A and B are shown apart, each in its own frame.
Chain A
Amino acid sequence: MQHEDRKPLNLDRIIVGEGIYGFLIETSRGLNAVAEVFKVLSELNLILVHMAVPEPVSKGTKGSFMLFLDFTKSKMTPFEAKNALEKRVSGIKIDIAEPVFSGVTVDSFHFPLIFLNERAVIFRETTLKAWLVNMRERFGTGGEAFLFHEGYIIGNSVYDACREMCGKECDIWTLFGAVLFASGIAENVSTDIDYERIIVKVWNNIECSLAKTKNLNKPFSHWLRGILAGFGSRYFGRRVSAVEVKCIAKGDPYCEFIIT
């Protein structure tokens, strides 16, 4: 899929806007109840702002799903809508997340966040900038070395996680690219592997995209370079080096790393 065909995914755990309410809907009737809930929502003329499915819902099983609904144009109150839904759809139970204050509604039902079976947190770009950019401005070469080392440890553990998911018969570098993509670290990863060397091309990686405005004349990545070195070291079973030869921070269309 091309970059221009992709849409951003808003994780919306916190919704900013007037009249938004969170509905946690638990059902013992699986997908049948889900279908009926959406039919009723449409009849009630409510606007669906965001949806999450924290527990799998399949046919005829127990499960839950979370909706954020916009009531600004509705003649019903959220509590009237809850009653209407519970009356018209059998086998569901609804809890409402009210705005924590005017204009801000939070999913107060789910914690912790989980990604690939482990606890995860969400960092916005400003936080990532403090970590991946300001760190090296404050601590110079020492900060860069720290980022690399941190990345290296992450790369080791990502390899172990991928190996576990992969079993024996899978292309672990393709899975690695998928993990970077799914976690939002990079948009696309391609690898060219020969006997002792791997060329990795990475499109739109978060670390270097944060430095695009800096007009740099040298590659910027240390954290992702560390991840690649850590992952590559596990892959080859020896300590490898990862050198960035192209970088979006200095105007190249993608970042390119050579692992040897």
Chain B
Amino acid sequence: MVTCREHQYFEKGHSVDLWIKCFYSLKVKSYDAELKFAQKINNPVLKIITLAVAYEHKKIAEILKALFKLEETINPYSEECKKALGASTIEDLVKARDLFRKILRGEKLSENDVNELVKTARRLADTMKGTFLSLAKIAQPPASKILMVLAESYGVYYSVLEKYLMEELKSAARR
């Protein structure tokens, strides 16, 4: 059982401690998963995009680790983490993971699958950006500034990435 406590970088009354641990653990797990996934992909563009996504997860995980002095990871899919991260994030992750697994199994993604994957990834990115921004508003420096930087850089990064991800998945679906 992970307890939900206040954190020194956040205003009194906010229990952000659990979110920090869950989100950090999720980023570590996502990095591992994306890296493994990238190694199995043959399509060179998709491989690079997946690697870029993996290292984005890693970057965020390392920043959180340094900022909040984190050591251990916990299970980000636990009930407690589901509450802290929000059902929306977990459901979208599961949906994206299932579609990625379909690619790994060599199944061809339909145009609908591609649209769904891109939409889900966009929603995840927006949720993450929104969460960073909301938490930045109740945090104190340096956490407030670092969360703001993460929100802004993630938004820009994902917009660029999405264009190429969509193009590549769509052309793969047509091939």
Give A243's nearest chain B residue, CB to CB.
B13
Say whether, besides A145-B14, A148-B14, A241-B13, A140 and B137 are in contact (CB < 8 Å): no
> Is B120 positioned at the interface, with any CB of A under 8 Å from its CB?
no
List chain B residues, Cβ under 8 A from A244.
13
Q: Is the CB of A242 within 8 A of B13?
A: yes
Nearest chain A CB to B58 CB, angstrom units: 21
Q: Is the CB of B87 within 8 A of A141?
A: no
Nearest chain A CB to B130 CB, angstrom units: 6
Say whether, besides A218-B4, A243-B13, A140 and B134 are in contact (CB < 8 Å): no
Say whether, besides A142-B130, A241-B13, A243-B13, A137 and B138 are in contact (CB < 8 Å): no
Q: Is the CB of A140 within 8 A of B130?
A: no
Report the bound CA distance from A102 to B135 in whole Å.
50
List chain A residues, Cβ under 8 A from B132.
142
Say whether, besides A140-B19, A241-B11, A242-B13, A149 and B138 are in contact (CB < 8 Å): yes
Partner among B11, B14, B85 whose Cβ is within 8 Å of the Cβ of A140: B85
Which residues of B in the span 1-59 have a Cβ within 8 Å of any Cβ on A? 4, 11-16, 18-19
Q: Is the CB of B87 within 8 A of A142?
A: no
The size class of the interface chain A forms with chain B is 20 to 34
Nearest chain A CB to B25 CB, angstrom units: 14
Say whether, besides A138-B87, A138-B88, A140-B85, A145 and B13 are in contact (CB < 8 Å): no
Say whether, besides A218-B15, A225-B13, A145 and B86 are in contact (CB < 8 Å): no
Nearest chain A CB to B141 CB, angstrom units: 13
Give B139's nearest chain A residue, CB to CB.
A145
The size class of the interface chain B forms with chain A is 20 to 34
List chain B residues, Cβ under 8 A from A241.
11-13
List chain B residues, Cβ under 8 A from A149.
134, 137-138
List chain B residues, Cβ under 8 A from A235.
none
Give A140's nearest chain B residue, CB to CB.
B86
Give B131's nearest chain A residue, CB to CB.
A142
> Is A146 positioned at the interface, with any CB of B under 8 Å from its CB?
yes
> Is B169 positioned at the interface, with any CB of A under 8 Å from its CB?
no
Q: Is the CB of B130 within 8 A of A146?
A: yes
Report the bound CA distance from A141 to B131 in whole Å.
8
List chain B residues, Cβ under 8 A from A136.
86
Which residues of B in the span 58-105 have a Cβ within 8 Å of any Cβ on A? 82-89
Q: Is the CB of B88 within 8 A of A139?
A: yes
Q: Is the CB of A148 within 8 A of B87?
A: no
Partner among B13, B14, B86 whose Cβ is within 8 Å of the Cβ of A143: B86
Nearest chain A CB to B10 CB, angstrom units: 9
> Is A107 positioned at the interface, with any CB of B under 8 Å from its CB?
no
Q: Mark A214-251, 1 if CB is under 8 A from B, else 0.
A: 00001000000100010000000000011110000000
> Is A256 positioned at the interface, with any CB of B under 8 Å from its CB?
no
Say whether, besides A146-B130, A218-B4, A141 and B15 are in contact (CB < 8 Å): yes
Report the bound CA distance from A137 to B87 in whole Å.
6
Q: Is the CB of A142 within 8 A of B137?
A: no
Report the bound CA distance from A260 to B13 in whole Å.
11
Chain A residues proximal to chain B, CB less than 8 Å: 136-146, 148-149, 218, 225, 229, 241-244, 260
Can you list 8 A-B pairs, Cβ within 8 angstroms, ordered by A? A137-B83, A140-B131, A141-B14, A145-B14, A148-B13, A149-B138, A229-B13, A243-B12
- Besides A137-B86, A141-B84, 11 other CB < 8 A contacts? A139-B86, A139-B131, A140-B19, A141-B18, A142-B127, A142-B130, A145-B135, A145-B138, A146-B134, A218-B15, A241-B11
